[in-house]
A and B are shown apart, each in its own frame.
Chain A
Amino acid sequence: MASASRRIVCSFRQHKLFYLKSRLQYNAVPLLISRFGPCGHVEQFHPITTRFFHSSKPFYGEKVPFKLSDIGEGITEVTVKEWYVKEGDKVAQFDPICEVQSDKASVTITSRYDGIISKLHYATDDMAKVGTPLVDIEVSGSVTELQEKDAIPLGEREDESLDTLELPAEKVLTTPAVRKMASDHKINLRDVQGSGRDGRILKEDMLRHIETLRSTKSAPKAKQQAPQEQPKPVAPTSQQPSPSTKSPQQVRPACPVGVDRTESIKGFKKAMAKSMTNALRIPHFGYCDEIDMTSMTTLRHSLKENPMVKERGIKLSFMPFFIKAASMALQQFPVLNASVDEACENITYKASHNIGFAMDTSLGLIVPNVKNVQSLSVMDVAIELARLQELGNKGVLGTADLTGGTFTLSNIGSIGGTYAKPVIMPPEVAIGAIGRVQVLPRFNNKGEVVRASIMQVSWSADHRVIDGASMARFSNLWKAYLENPSIMILDLK
Chain B
Amino acid sequence: MKLSTIASQSLNNDVSKKLVFVSKSTNIFENLAIEDWLYKNFDFETQSLLFMWVNTPCVVIGRHQNPWVEVNLKNMSENGVFLSRRNSGGGTVYHDTGNLNCSFFSSRARYNRKSNLENICQSMKCNWNLDLTISPREDILLNSYKVSGTASKLGHKNAYHHCTLLVDVDSTKLHHMLKVDQLGIKSNSTPSVRSPTLNLKSICSQISVDEIIQVLGSYYTRNSSSQFESLKFVEPSEENFTGIDMLKLSFSNWHWTYGKTPSFVVCWPLGEQSPELNIVVQNGQIEKLDFQNITIDKEHSRKLTELLLNQKLDNNLYNIILSSNVFEKMNDNCAKLKEMLLLLCLTSV
Interface string of B151-179 (1 = CB under 8 A from A): 11111100000000000000000000000
Q: Whole-angstrom distance between the alpha carbons of A490 and B155 in the complex?
A: 56
Q: Whole-angstrom distance between the alpha carbons of A160 and B106 in the complex?
A: 12
Assuming the contacts A101-B64, A271-B7, asked whether A152 and B156 have C-beta atoms less than 8 A apart, the reply is yes
| CB–CB A105/B89 < 8 A | yes
| CB–CB B9/A103 < 8 A | no
Chain B residues with Cβ below 8 Å from A364 are 3, 5-7
Chain B residues with Cβ below 8 Å from A272 are 5-7, 10
| CB–CB B250/A110 < 8 A | no
| CB–CB A155/B111 < 8 A | yes
Whether A403 sits at the interface, judged by CB under 8 Å, is: yes
Whether A165 sits at the interface, judged by CB under 8 Å, is: yes
Whether A212 sits at the interface, judged by CB under 8 Å, is: no
Q: Which residues between 27 and 45 of chain B lie within 8 Å of chain A, taking CB atoms?
A: 36, 45
In-complex Cβ contact of B190 among A94, A101, A403 (8 A): A101
Q: Whole-angstrom distance between the alpha carbons of A425 and B45 in the complex?
A: 22
Q: How many whole Å from B77's CB to the nearest CB in chain A?
A: 26
In-complex Cβ contact of B2 among A37, A81, A395 (8 A): A395
Whether A365 sits at the interface, judged by CB under 8 Å, is: yes
| CB–CB A399/B6 < 8 A | no
| CB–CB A106/B2 < 8 A | no
Whether B115 sits at the interface, judged by CB under 8 Å, is: yes
Chain B residues with Cβ below 8 Å from A397 are 3-4
Question: Which chain B residue lies CB-closest to A82?
Answer: B64
| CB–CB A426/B109 < 8 A | no
Whether B90 sits at the interface, judged by CB under 8 Å, is: yes
Whether B311 sits at the interface, judged by CB under 8 Å, is: no
Whether A366 sits at the interface, judged by CB under 8 Å, is: yes
Q: How many whole Å from B118's CB to the nearest CB in chain A?
A: 6
Q: Which residues between 1 and 26 of chain B lie within 8 Å of chain A, taking CB atoms?
A: 1-15
Interface range, A side: 35 or more
Q: Whole-angstrom distance between the alpha carbons of A402 and B62 in the complex?
A: 33
Assuming the contacts A81-B64, A165-B2, asked whether A38 and B250 have C-beta atoms less than 8 A apart, the reply is yes
Q: Whole-angstrom distance between the alpha carbons of A126 and B89 in the complex?
A: 16
| CB–CB B2/A275 < 8 A | no
| CB–CB A162/B153 < 8 A | no
Chain B residues with Cβ below 8 Å from A365 are 5-6
Assuming the contacts A104-B90, A343-B227, A399-B115, asked whether A271 and B152 have C-beta atoms less than 8 A apart, the reply is no
Q: How many whole Å from A408's CB to the nearest CB in chain B?
A: 10
| CB–CB A125/B262 < 8 A | yes
Interface string of A393-434 (1 = CB under 8 A from B): 011011110111100000000000000000001110000000
Whether B274 sits at the interface, judged by CB under 8 Å, is: no
| CB–CB B2/A103 < 8 A | no
Q: Whole-angstrom distance between the alpha carbons of A360 and B107 in the complex?
A: 27
| CB–CB B7/A403 < 8 A | no
Whether A337 sits at the interface, judged by CB under 8 Å, is: no
In-complex Cβ contact of A159 among B4, B137, B150 (8 A): B4
| CB–CB A400/B118 < 8 A | yes
Chain A residues with Cβ below 8 Å from B107 are 162-163
Question: Which chain B residue lies CB-closest to A346?
Answer: B227
| CB–CB B3/A108 < 8 A | no
| CB–CB A168/B1 < 8 A | yes
| CB–CB B154/A271 < 8 A | no
| CB–CB A160/B4 < 8 A | yes
Interface string of B83-103 (1 = CB under 8 A from A): 000011111000000000000
In-complex Cβ contact of A161 among B13, B109, B156 (8 A): B109
Q: Which residues between 227 and 241 of chain B lie within 8 Å of chain A, taking CB atoms?
A: 227-228
Q: Whole-angstrom distance between the alpha carbons of A161 and B2 in the complex?
A: 6
Whether B146 sits at the interface, judged by CB under 8 Å, is: no
Interface string of B228-270 (1 = CB under 8 A from A): 1000000000000000000000100000000010100000000
Q: How many whole Å from A346's CB to the nearest CB in chain B?
A: 9
Whether B113 sits at the interface, judged by CB under 8 Å, is: yes
Chain A residues with Cβ below 8 Å from B9 are 275, 367, 402-403, 405, 425
| Additional 12 contacts, C-beta under 8 A, given A104-B91, A168-B1, A365-B5 | A104-B90, A110-B155, A152-B156, A271-B7, A272-B5, A275-B7, A342-B227, A363-B5, A364-B5, A366-B5, A395-B4, A398-B114
Give me the 3 closest cross-chain CB pairs, A-B, nearest first.
A271-B7, A275-B10, A106-B89
